[in-house]
Amino acid sequence: MSEKFDKAKQRVLLDHRFFASMMMRMKWKEDTTCEAAWTNGREVGYNPAFIEKLTTKQTMGTIIHELFHPMMKHHLRIGNKNHDIWNQSCDYAINPLIINYGFELPDGALIDERFYGMLAEQIYPILMQEKQDQNQQKNDQGDQNQSGQGNQQKNKQNDQKKKSQDEIRPGIDENGKPADEAELQKQENEINVAISQAAKFAEKAGQGFAGMERLVKNISTVETPWQQILSNFLYESAKTQYDWSRPSRRHEQYFPSLHNYEAGNIVIAIDSSGSINELVFDKFISELSSILSNISSEIWVIICDNKIQEAKQITVNELSEIKPRGFGGTSFKPVFKWLDENDITPTAMIYLTDLDCYGYPEEPTFPVLWATYGWHGKSTKIPFGEKILLN
């Protein structure tokens, strides 16, 4: 361990007991293969050459930065996202907090007033759209030289990309294997307990700080609204354009409103077994209708218990008229079989179910989001796709 890094860790141990407690639960190691640093929630790797370019205070800020990622559970929420854009989104989300608590970050740390107070999931689609716009501009202009404002914008984007110094790696289990659904839930619970204990440790040492209680509460309860995850899932599965001229009426913060959202086939599969929750069903359909009202797509609805009860193409205005039917046992296989037999490959599938079923098909080639609820929904491990818990 480099002398500067060791000194920075000692300063954190002595002066910042809350963060010291979180730091002690991580394994820290030198890694000359990385550009700057990385974390997977259990370990932190750092390049000594990068540390040597920093002051001791900036090294302390780097340590706190690498702690904030697992504290905010960023490594547990990567999913199928673009890793580079996710890294940037998470940095934009936490860097203002780190500075606010009196730490100094390395030069070039990602800071943007647009993203103050936003979660990484809220920042991610904005950066993805900017990346798409940049790629489109590059394709449109071909090899022609840019000048004036266009050149400045390109340079700014290139500089921004270089500023993303660290890397968030997906969570792993104790054996170093990719964390499954159960492991991710276990680590989330462990982080919540660790944060609570760190706060008590700091208070006992007389090192509580302004805003610590609020920070602990916010981090321990950080949970991206399922509505946001649902919207992001559809965004990642299709091409989106944003309109900054008006705010989204569904949120207090100023978010871009979706329009010209062009997708192919979107399949909404509904588990109509006897255990379906009508309250959750109505809430889910209402939210889905709101999101799909901004989407130009072909919508297929398939109602299925242990066999297909209904399968039809509808408009978004007809979603509210959909009612479950069947109320038999549960099998997920008929829906996927029906799509295959009818030669339909969706851009995305959303399957509303309590997951009280043990028969899954083989993993399809299209993305699947399991919108689930209840005890089974929370505890059941899915073999593929992503999962949101409706509350």
Q: What is the pLDDT of residues 10-38, one digit of tens each?
A: 999 999 999 999 999 999 999 999 999 99
73 DSSP 8-state letter: T
Q: CA 237, CA 384: separation in Å to the nearest integer? A: 16
Q: Is the C-alpha dihedral spanning 289, 292, 298, 303 positive or negative? A: negative
Instruction: Say if strands 239-247 and 256-271 run parallel, antiparallel, or are unpaired.
Output: antiparallel
pLDDT of residue 88: 95
Low-confidence residues of the chain: pLDDT under 50: 147, 154-162, 239-261
Beta bridge partners of 262: 239, 296
Considering just the CA atoms, what is the radius of gyration of the chain in Å?
23
pLDDT of residue 264: 73
Structure tokens at 48: 């000594």
pLDDT of residue 287: 83
Concatenating the DSSP letter of every residue in 83-108 gives HHHHHHHHHHHHHHHHHHTT--PPTT
pLDDT of residue 342: 95
pLDDT of residue 224: 59
Q: CA 217, CA 225: separation in Å to the nearest integer? A: 16
Q: CB 237: neighbour CB atoms within 10 A? A: 21
Q: What is the pLDDT of residues 210-249, one digit of tens each?
A: 777 777 776 665 555 677 678 777 766 654 444 433 334 4
Residue range 226-389 in CATH 3.40.50: yes
pLDDT of residue 159: 44
Q: CA 373, CA 56: separation in Å to the nearest integer? A: 48
Hey, where are the domains in the chain? 3-130+164-169+178-220, 226-389
pLDDT of residue 250: 40
Structure tokens at 1: 């361990």
pLDDT of residue 257: 41
pLDDT of residue 205: 83
Q: CA 95, CA 98: separation in Å to the nearest integer? A: 5
**Residue 352 — φ and ψ, nearest 5°?**
-85, 120
